[in-house]
Structure 1
């Protein structure tokens, strides 16, 4: 809906109507998506209300969170089982709340194992439901697409190949692009990023990024620090930076580092992840959305991931993918090295990181630029537009009755 083409009555309706959007996010990447969506929806409905589970960026925009986002920040089959009773309680509570306080639309952002079940319960009560960020149904458990179809009125996908998958199964899906591609400039200035962070301009900089969740950080930090110590032995001018998403993660990082590598100098920087990446020559990082950020910022990386042993065995049996990182999946080729489970060790990590720190990696830029252009679609606006299309047309009289 283009605001400039609205009639006077329609403009008055959109400006006075007070819709309620229920949103549930489960981690910091979802919080970023949710914040962008809130801004875009408020562009259509300035008086819109937002409630559910949100993170700090959403809260800063006036979001009302019924539970802390950290309640849902758990990953892996075994890890979820350890929290299952609490997760079920949270979902039951949200179902009851939204049944008694019916929103105009419910939007589950990522966290599919939690949100899709919630969406199904709400859709059964005639509440419009949207799932923002497609689960990886194209990677494993393909038949989940039918569960998703029953649970949602619309899937909003960030990646183009996901749209093709849903079309094949005749499930409503809109490709909206990725907000990160809209927000991150095509060229990221290393010098200005280093100046902003107070880092030396002539030293090599390695970013240590072991994850935003407590569990993955605890699994990856030890091998990351071991690799960093070995690199530091060879080059004492090497600068290490560790961007942390929150004070809580920074405290966990520092506590583990004091035990594992007390003498290694690491600059821990909170809530400036993209600036740290732009300032770096190479990233040693966990898998996840952060690898897409790195590709958009156009920095070489080595990607690592470790699951709990049981989760890994199940995933190895169920997942049939050549790659697990977003840069490689989007390029459909091996752009960046991936290390999984037992491969996350000094012998594998060290030569890969060293090569990307000290050898020219400019040939990656063209591939990263192609990914950037493909995903730059004004995603938050496209997502808001798709959500608005699901809402019934509201007349001035209807809005007066609702107030």
Structure 2
């Protein structure tokens, strides 16, 4: 009987917190690709019927994506905070970045840093492979992904992730990260 009561309470609390919305999958994936995965968009081909839609709660979708990341064996990640999140989930990764030639050229003249991923910037060494511009091609992506799926590179990356987690700590991690980034942005390359 107690199990039924607990189950009913859980069902009621779920009803309050779930806010499903109709998501047209093609539109949703295109927004995701344009906003969060722009640097690897060219490597992804959607094969979804244009009128396919689902009712889904955005918060639940976020939980599903986090669950996928927590259980992933390896990842291809666009540069940004996702690289740090992926490392803290202890998922080996290859960082991909492609931008407009002019924008990247200007950035290279103005910003003098050794790395683009937060993981490498914070650790001040190459922990994850960064494939930038012309190096971001299918041959390099495939080769580096194979290296982190198993073997020495994977184990070395996971060990470095442990150091990163210790460096980040728990309380005040955002502030420490910001200070580390500012430190590396002010150092000569």
| TM over 0.5, shorter chain | yes
Compute the displacement of 1:213 (Å).
6.5
- Seen in structure 2, the aligned counterparts of structure 1 residues 309 and 369 have a Cα distance that, compared at 3 Å, is same
Superposition misfits of 4+ residues, deviation over 3 angstroms: none
Structure having the larger proportion of residues in helix: 2
Helix, strand or coil: the match of 1:363?
Answer: helix
Work out which structure has the larger RCO, using CA pairs closer than 8 Å and 6 or more positions apart in sequence.
2
Mark the CA change 1:308 to 1:273 in structure 2 (over 3 Å): closer, same or farther: same
Distance 1:363 1:339 in 2: 19
Give ranges in structure 2 of 5+ residues lacking alignment: 1-16, 18-30, 49-59, 176-189
2:156 maps to which of 359, 363, 378:
363
Per the TM alignment, residue 318 of structure 1 is displaced from its structure 2 partner at its CA by 1.1
Q: Which has the larger radius of gyration?
A: 1
Aligned match of 1:217: 37
Spell out, residue by residue over 1:368-399, the C-alpha distance to the aligned partner (whole angstroms, 9 max, x if none): 1221122224238x8xxxxxxxxxxxxxxxxx
User: Is the CA contact 2:34–2:41 (under 8 Å) kept in the aligned structure 1?
Assistant: no
Say which SS state the counterpart of residue 75 (structure 2) adopts: strand
What is the alpha-carbon distance in structure 2 between the residues aligned to residue 341 and residue 215 of structure 1? 18
- TM-score normalised to structure 1 length: 0.30
C-alpha spacing 1:212/1:376, structure 2 compared with 1 (3 Å): farther
1:330 aligned residue? 122
In structure 1, how many angstroms separate the alpha carbons of the residues matched to 2:129 and 2:170?
28
Structure 1 unaligned blocks of 5 or more: 1-59, 61-210, 226-255, 260-268, 383-403
TM-score when normalising by structure 2: 0.61
Contact 1:285 1:303 in 2 (8 A): yes
Q: In the superposition, relative to structure 1, how do residues 372 and 358 fare at CA in structure 2: closer, same or farther (>3 Å)?
A: closer
Q: Are 2:40 and 2:98, in contact at CA under 8 Å, matched by a contact in 1?
A: yes
Partner of 2:131: 339
SS in 2 for 1:304: strand
Q: How far did residue 312 of structure 1 move?
A: 1.2
Q: How far apart are 1:277 and its partner, in Å?
A: 1.6
Name the structure 2 match of 1:128: none
Task: Report 1:80-229 matches (<5 A).
Answer: 214-215=34-35, 217-223=37-43, 225=44
